[in-house]
Structure 1
Amino acid sequence: MIPSSTSIGFNLNPLERRSDRRDDLAFIEQLRSDPAARFLVFDGDIPLLKRGSEHDVWFLESETAAFGQPSHSVFLGEESDGSGRFALGFTLGLAPEDPSRGAVHDRIDLRSIAVQGLVASGTLGILGEAKSMLDWHRRHSFCANCGSPSRVAAAGWQRICDVCGARHFPRVDPVVIMLVIDGERCLLGRQRHFGPGMYSALAGFVEPGETAEDAVRREVMEEARVRCAQVVYFASQPWPFPSSLMIGCFAQASDTEIVVDTAELEDARWFSRQEVAAMLAGTHASGLSAPKPFAIAHHLLQAYAAKGASVLSG
């Protein structure tokens, strides 16, 4: 029942992260100076792609010199051939068709890259890693303990405060995303920012001191006033917007009357398995749609459409 890593966006990351060598400055510099090293270039939180049919996101170090000095640099890991991969963050302020760069580079946000399938699944996973890490550095330049400026360590995987000695590590925010099931129908909702006619699984952040299972029950209760009993894990997905881990689950509804929290959702209702299958296929009679295949919500719906309530058996 659980999909392969390659079928969910951002899940496949072929790099060996080499967390054991991040403090080895000589090792990192050797990788960086190797002619086989490659670099991702971000303008803010948007990656640059070399213009052309291949949508190439990898730059030689000599090619990155045209962008000046990066604000942030992160070692991402090693390829299978031992060559290093790095992410560089710049503040270039380029428009999509900036005349100074537009003839050479495309500036395309990561969500659009994923939706349009512009890069291979392994490259998409690496881009997700890079985006999350560079975003963390932009947001955490100062020590959360004493407020002093912090410095980068461990090849970009730590920030250290030399004033109070605090060490800061990249954060990942756990989010539950759940498909609530009542036999031959499931509960879907839509937020106001969704595209016209799109419905998806409910979701919400896990709170401190809370299990993922309890977060599923709480979020469904808060957003739709539906109680859930059994909760079954499905799969997870790194979600670099900016840095979450989506924990996909199925949940068994204990009651079925919906009361929508309009502060959170525009609408929520029960959908039959047949409707879900039509939404996934783009053939729903009312033009309703489901999330695209790069999102874990799509795979929750796909598994339910295929197997029905048996997905709750794990």
Structure 2
Amino acid sequence: MTEEKNKIPQLIDEVSKAILGKRDIIQLTLTAILAGGHILFEDVPGVGKTLLVKTIASAIQSDYKRVQFTPDLLPSDILGVSMFNQKENKFEFHKGPIFTTLLLVDEINRTTPKTQVALLEAMAEKSVTIDNQTYSLSDDFTVLATQNPVEFEGTYLLPEAQLDRFLLRLKIGYPSFEDELKLILGGNREEIPIEPIMSLEEIAVLKNQVSQIFIHEKVANYALKLVQATREHESILLGVSPRGSEALIKAAKAYALTEGREHVVPSDLQLLVPAVFGHRLQLKYHGKSREAELEKILNQIIKHVPVPIGR
């Protein structure tokens, strides 16, 4: 086990100082970062989504910027704008907050689809094009977006193409009674000092190791059968795309690394199915709670797709 890999549990422990009782969510967030993917946090306000991102940025010594999405936000407010310099007699590009390593997008579904789509090229290509000029972003550029449930007033549905660019959709959820008691008695969690555990250089080393994680053909076959089950389920209108099947494998490899293993096991795939599939599926019909119906369907798929023996 490499020195960088040995630091993963320590990194999770450090972030857990501020985010109580959510070690699994912290590990999945790190999984997405190591897989080179973006993350969509969907939850009610006040459960610690923003604090989680800020704490991880501190622990991996990464620069980050925060953008609050509002109905009047324009694409140029994110990407930047070209302004004429009279002294130099030429246009100069002034970079927007998207030029960072970790971009925290608060309430992404509070702004209009036009502004939401401004992120699409950056998420897909790690570059932005303005006035026919393309600008490269950091190799480690990652969007960590939060959104309120769609039932909330003043929200816009994200385009399917953009949803598909998020590797994982995570829900932090309410803390346990014991953890919430610690929260209200322990003061401001944002004031807790976070020690730097890793550097971006070490994160880059771990990303390279993710690609070397072994996945047996039987396990890969199992992953694809899980994907195909979403395309054949009677209650699903639109199943997981090929990009989604690739996302499942990438996430599984990264998760195996965070577990200290050099190979993927079927339980990795089962654990990741809700986070990888949930935002990629369109249901034919659902009652008051889409999430409850979605959870039921995914549990059915996991239960009925045969698990490979001996792996």
Relative to the length of structure 1, the TM-score reads 0.25
Structure showing the higher helix proportion among its residues: 2
Q: Which is higher, the Rg of structure 1 or of structure 2?
A: 1
Relative to the length of structure 2, the TM-score reads 0.25
Which one scores higher on RCO, CA 8 angstroms, separation ≥ 6?
A: 2
Structure showing the higher strand proportion among its residues: 1
